[in-house]
Amino acid sequence: MKTVSIVISAYNEEGNIEKLYEELEKELSKVSNVAFEILFVNDGSKDQTFQKIEKLIEKDSRVKMVNLKRNFGHEIAMTAGMDYAKGDAVIFMDADLQHPPVYIPEMVKSWQEGYEIVLTKRVDNVATSWFYKLCAKTFYWLLNLLSETKIPESMPDFRLIDRRYVDFLKGFNEQDRLFRGLLSWIMPNDKVKVIDFVAPVRFSGTTKYSFIKSLQLAISSITQFSVRPLRLATYLGFAGAACSVLLGLYVIFEHFIQHNPTPGYATIVSVVGFVGALQLITLGIVGEYIGKIHMEVKKRPLYLADLIEQNQKDDHFEK
Ligand code: UDP
Ligand code: MG
């Protein structure tokens, strides 16, 4: 019998674990001819998430936990889950019930029909404000403008991936990773199905992505998939040089032809200030990339984890 692993990343989700398990149990019982592995990834939670998952492991042998030794972030948590998942297909989902388990039977059925990747498209997210939606839109517009790998908007990490593509994804070793970007990189043209859904509000707790954290993720996503911002420095340099030449010509014209010398330090101060700011911005962009190289060349393990399942406990350094 084929198996499907369900990988659930959880960071401080104590209020959601039991409810999610209940819903999963209900939905998984509707699927026949498939065995399930429910793999929680505890991403260094500081609340009772670990204990709640442990309780589930005691009563249900399908439940396992990849326990990360500290908080490594959602992207690494999904990577750890993918590395430990044994299934012929892997479903990724959040722990807060914003990825409703009710869609799992349809995802599995599509996979059984031959689709190798089943994506979900969030047609609406009732939990987010117009400001967040605007920021997300701007981010995806900028990302797709700058990057050759196109990453569609509103495609959350709730998806099923066949083992063949899971193995491809395991081939990416970068520290700094945007899962949906990596998936776009390997996305086939066929055998992909998209299921629409409306994301409900979180069942319990609050979002783990503050505005600053989202901004950091946005900047690192752009640098991961594009070097075009680096070229911006060159373009700005050319544009600045052209402006200086034009300004020089204007000053000469005023002085010798119009006999009206351009007065004042104000122009000089603003030009110097503007050029200084441009230099700082471009230095910042270059710095972002150098920082990334610095982190990547060390080739540190992506995470440190152990696997907890019924009657067994392993310690691992991974990758
Ligand atoms: N998450 C995680 N590690 C983190 C942050 C979040 O594993 O450092 C998990 C979190 O528990 C949730 C999922 O990633 O299951 C998505 O996070 P969240 O719901 O806060 O994001 P949002 O839905 O608000 O974008
Ligand atoms: Mg959420």
The DSSP code sequence of 54-85 is: HHHHHH-TTEEEEEESS---HHHHHHHHHHH-
Residues 6 or more apart from 178 whose CB is under 8 A from it?
75, 151, 217, 220, 221, 224, 225
Q: How far is the CA of 97 from the centre of ligand 2 (A)?
A: 7
| 73 Cβ inside 6 Å of ligand 1 | yes
Atom in ligand 1 nearest the alpha carbon of residue 71: 8
Q: How far is the CA of 118 from the centre of ligand 1 (A)?
A: 21
Supply the residue whose CA is at minimum distance from atom 13 of ligand 1.
Answer: 94
Tell me how many degrees the CA angle 121-23-153 measures, rounded to the nearest 5: 15
Instruction: Identify residue 8 by its one-letter amino acid code.
Output: I
- pLDDT (0 to 100) of residue 281: 87
Structure-block tokens of residue 286: 């270059």
| 216 Cβ inside 6 Å of ligand 1 | no
Task: Give yes or no for a contact between 161 and 183, defined as CB atoms under 8 angstroms apart.
Answer: yes
- pLDDT (0 to 100) of residue 316: 52
**Closest among 173, 169, 162 to 185, alpha carbons compared:** 169
Helix (H, G, I), strand (E, B) or coil at 189: coil
Q: How far is the CA of 63 from the centre of ligand 2 (A)?
A: 21
Give per-residue burial for 234-252: e unless 16+ CB within 10 Å, then b. eebeeeeeeeeeeeeeeee
Q: What is the pTM of this model?
A: 0.87
The strand order across the sheet containing 192-199 reads 192-199, 117-125, 159-162, 89-94, 2-10, 34-43, 63-68, 303-309, 312-318
Q: Which long-range contacts (CB under 8 A, 24 or more apart) does 60-63 make?
A: 60/21, 61/309, 61/310, 62/35, 62/36, 62/37, 62/38, 63/21, 63/38, 63/309
| 90 Cβ inside 6 Å of ligand 1 | no
Enumerate residue ranges in the chain where pLDDT < 70.
127, 312-319
Atom in ligand 1 nearest the alpha carbon of residue 10: 11
**In Å, how far are 156, 271, 272 from 262, measured between CA atoms?**
57, 14, 16
Probe residue for ligand 1, chosen from 13, 74, 206, 214 as the CB with the greatest number of ligand atoms within 8 Å: 74
| 211 Cβ inside 6 Å of ligand 1 | no
Helix (H, G, I), strand (E, B) or coil at 159: strand
| 96 Cβ inside 6 Å of ligand 1 | yes
| 11 Cβ inside 6 Å of ligand 1 | yes
Tell me how many degrees the CA angle 229-233-239 measures, rounded to the nearest 5: 125
CA 120/CA 30 separation, integer angstroms: 20
Q: How far is the CA of 213 from the centre of ligand 1 (A)?
A: 11
Atom in ligand 1 nearest the alpha carbon of residue 207: 20
Probe residue for ligand 1, chosen from 42, 96, 154 as the CB with the greatest number of ligand atoms within 8 Å: 96
Probe residue for ligand 1, chosen from 40, 48, 94 as the CB with the greatest number of ligand atoms within 8 Å: 94
- Nearest ligand atom owner, CA of 98: 2
Atom in ligand 1 nearest the alpha carbon of residue 95: 15
- pLDDT (0 to 100) of residue 312: 67
Q: What is the pLDDT of residues 79-133, one digit of tens each?
A: 999 999 999 999 999 999 999 999 999 999 999 999 999 999 988 777 678 888 8
Q: How far is the CA of 87 from the centre of ligand 2 (A)?
A: 24
Supply the residue whose CA is at minimum distance from atom 14 of ligand 1.
Answer: 74
Task: Give yes or no for a contact between 152 and 122, defined as CB atoms under 8 angstroms apart.
Answer: no
- pLDDT (0 to 100) of residue 319: 54
